[in-house]
Amino acid sequence: MDSCIRGKTKVALFLGKYKGKVTSFSELVLRLDENRFDIIFIYFGGYDVERNLTQQIRRRVFCLFDRKQGRTFNLSILCKLVRILKEQKVDIIHCSSHECTVYGTLAAMIARTPVVLAHVRGLGRSRRLRRKLINLLLFRRINKLIPVAHKVKEDVLKNNWFLSADKLLVLENSVDYERFAEVAILKEDAKQMLDLPKEAFVYGTVGRLAPTKGLSYLIEAFAKVKQQMPSAQLIVVGEGRLRNELEQQAAGTSCADSIHFLGHRKNIPELLRAMDVFVLSSIAEGMPKAILEAMAAGIPCISTNVGGIPEIVTSRDVGLLVPARKVAALARAMISVANMSNDELAKLGEKAQDRVRQVYSHTVVIKRLENIYETEVTH
C-alpha cells in the first residue's frame, strides 16, 4: 500500500462546518503519533478556516464550501472532496457526522480511498425510512461505524437490520483531562467571579439550551430544592433556541433571582470550579462530554439514566443517576448530595475524577483510535 511506502498513514478527518474552535475530537486526533500518522482536516465550510486553523493546529486544512451549505446534495462539493482525497493520497477518511458520511463515502469510492470510517454520536439517528435506505447503500462501503457508546451501538443495530455487529467499534468520547483537573482558580474565587455569595451551594449545568437537555425539569426541580435550601444557586451555561422560554419559566418561579443564565462561555474549566454539584437533566443522550468534563474537574455529578450515561456513571461511588423527566426524583437527589459531608463530597468528586482519568481521557482513548486506524489500513 502507498502508505507503507511513505512510512505514514494519511488520515483525513472530515468535519462539518467550522464554528470558530477546535472540537474535543479534533484535539484527540491531533495527539496521534506524528511518526505514524499524517493528518489533514477537511471542513464543509467556515469563514477563513483554511488560513486561520492551519496556523492554529499546524496541519493542512481544507474548506469545501465558502457559503452557507443548503440541504440538497451538492455535486461541486463532492468533486472537490474527491480531488482532495486523490491529491493528498489519503488512506483513511474519518467522517464525523451523517452528512460527512454521505459525501465522504461517495468521494472515497470515486477516489479509491481504501478506508472509510463513520462516527455515530447520538441515539435515534436511523429511525426514519429515508435514513435507513441511505444507510443500506452507504454502510456496505464503510469499513467501520464508530458509535460513542454501547447504547448507541445497540441503537444503530436495532434500526439497521442488515448490519452485522462486527461492523461497529465503540470508541467512547474523551476529554482533555488535565485541562479540567488542573485548574488553578479556587472555588471561592470562581464564585466571586460570578457574583455568587461565598456561602452559596451552587448547582450548575453546561450544554445547549435544547429540548433534549431537559432543562425545564431542572428548573422545576431546583425550585423545589430552593424551598429547603435557601443558600442554593443554579447556573446554566450555554446557548440555544430555548433560552427565552427557559428564562420565562425561571422568572415564574419564586427563586428567579437564584437562577443564572450565563450564555455561551469559553472558560468552562473555571466555571466548573464554582459548582458544588453538576446536574445533567437530559431526556436523550449519546455520551455527553459535559458530564465527562465535570467529572474530570472533580465535581460531584447527578445525571439522568439515559443513553450512554450509565456507562459513565457505573455506581453511586462516581455519581448519582435518576430517571429522566422525574422532577421529584431529581430534586431529592440534588438535596441528598447537598446534605453530604465535605468529606463525602470530596470522595465522590475524587472517584468521578479517577474514572475519567482511567477511561475517558484523551491519553487513554488516543491509543484505541490509533489501533483502529492501524488495523483498518492493514486489512
Instruction: Please indicate, yes or no, whether residues 61 and 144 belong to a single structural domain of this protein.
Output: yes
C-alpha grid cell, residue 195: 457574583
- The residue among 39, 280, 22, 312 whose CA lies nearest residue 172 is 312
Instruction: Please indicate, yes or no, whether residues 128 and 85 belong to a single structural domain of this protein.
Output: yes
- The residue among 198, 256, 262 whose CA lies nearest residue 226 is 256
Instruction: Please indicate, yes or no, whether residues 252 and 128 belong to a single structural domain of this protein.
Output: no
SS3 at position 351: helix
Residue 6 pLDDT exceeds 60: no
Average pLDDT, stretch 80-89? 97
Instruction: Please indicate, yes or no, whether residues 298 and 181 belong to a single structural domain of this protein.
Output: yes
81, 194, 215, 285 from 187: Cα distances, Å: 48, 11, 24, 29
State which residues form the domain around 302. 177-359
20-24, 88-92, 171-175, 289-293, range with the lowest pLDDT = 20-24
Residue 4: pLDDT band by 50, 70, 90 thresholds?
Answer: very low
Instruction: Please indicate, yes or no, whether residues 283 and 142 belong to a single structural domain of this protein.
Output: no
Residue 49: pLDDT band by 50, 70, 90 thresholds?
Answer: confident
Instruction: Please indicate, yes or no, whether residues 321 and 243 belong to a single structural domain of this protein.
Output: yes
Please classify residue 89 by burial: count the beta carbons closer than 10 Å to its beta carbon, then call 0-12 exposed, 13-18 middle and 19+ buried: middle
Looking up cell 472558560 gives: 267
Contact 40, 8 (CB under 8 A): no
Instruction: Please indicate, yes or no, whether residues 285 and 153 belong to a single structural domain of this protein.
Output: no
Residue 68 pLDDT exceeds 70: no
If one compares 6 and 299, the residue with the highest pLDDT of the two is 299
C-alpha grid cell, residue 343: 468529606
Instruction: Please indicate, yes or no, whether residues 92 and 189 belong to a single structural domain of this protein.
Output: no
SS3 at position 244: helix
Q: Which helix (H) or strand (E) holds 303?
A: strand 301-304
Instruction: Please indicate, yes or no, whether residues 25 and 39 belong to a single structural domain of this protein.
Output: yes
* Cα gap 227→231, rounded to integer Å: 10
Cβ atoms within 10 A of the Cβ of 71, count? 6
C-alpha grid cell, residue 186: 479556587
List strands edge to edge, sheet with 144-147: 60-63, 37-45, 9-17, 92-95, 115-120, 144-147
Q: Taking the complete model, does pTM exceed 0.95, yes or no?
A: no
- The residue among 117, 63, 158 whose CA lies nearest residue 370 is 117
Q: If phi over 0 gives left and psi between -120 and 50 gives alpha, with beta otherwise, what is residue 260?
A: beta
SS3 at position 259: strand
> What does the pLDDT read at residue 69?
57
> What does the pLDDT read at residue 70?
59
Average pLDDT taken over every residue of the chain:
93
> What does the pLDDT read at residue 46?
73
Residue 1 pLDDT exceeds 50: no
- Residue at 113: amino acid letter: T
* Cα gap 95→139, rounded to integer Å: 13
Contact 321, 291 (CB under 8 A): no
Residue 176: pLDDT band by 50, 70, 90 thresholds?
Answer: very high
Percent of the chain at pLDDT above 90?
80
Average pLDDT, stretch 247-267? 97
Q: What ranges in 167-288 are assigned the alpha helix state H?
A: 177-181, 187-193, 215-228, 243-251, 268-273
* Cα gap 251→68, rounded to integer Å: 36
Q: What is the CATH number of the domain that holds 220?
A: 3.40.50.2000
C-alpha grid cell, residue 246: 427557559
Instruction: Please indicate, yes or no, whether residues 41 and 147 belong to a single structural domain of this protein.
Output: yes
* Cα gap 200→235, rounded to integer Å: 12
Instruction: Please indicate, yes or no, whether residues 338 and 195 belong to a single structural domain of this protein.
Output: yes
Largest CA distance in the chain: 69
> What does the pLDDT read at residue 378?
87
Looking up cell 474530570 gives: 296
- The residue among 335, 333, 326, 332 whose CA lies nearest residue 230 is 335
272-327, pLDDT tens digit by residue?
999 999 999 999 999 999 999 999 999 999 999 999 999 999 999 999 999 999 99
Residue 225: pLDDT band by 50, 70, 90 thresholds?
Answer: very high
Domain count, the chain: 2
Residue 44: pLDDT band by 50, 70, 90 thresholds?
Answer: confident
Instruction: Please indicate, yes or no, whether residues 313 and 367 belong to a single structural domain of this protein.
Output: no
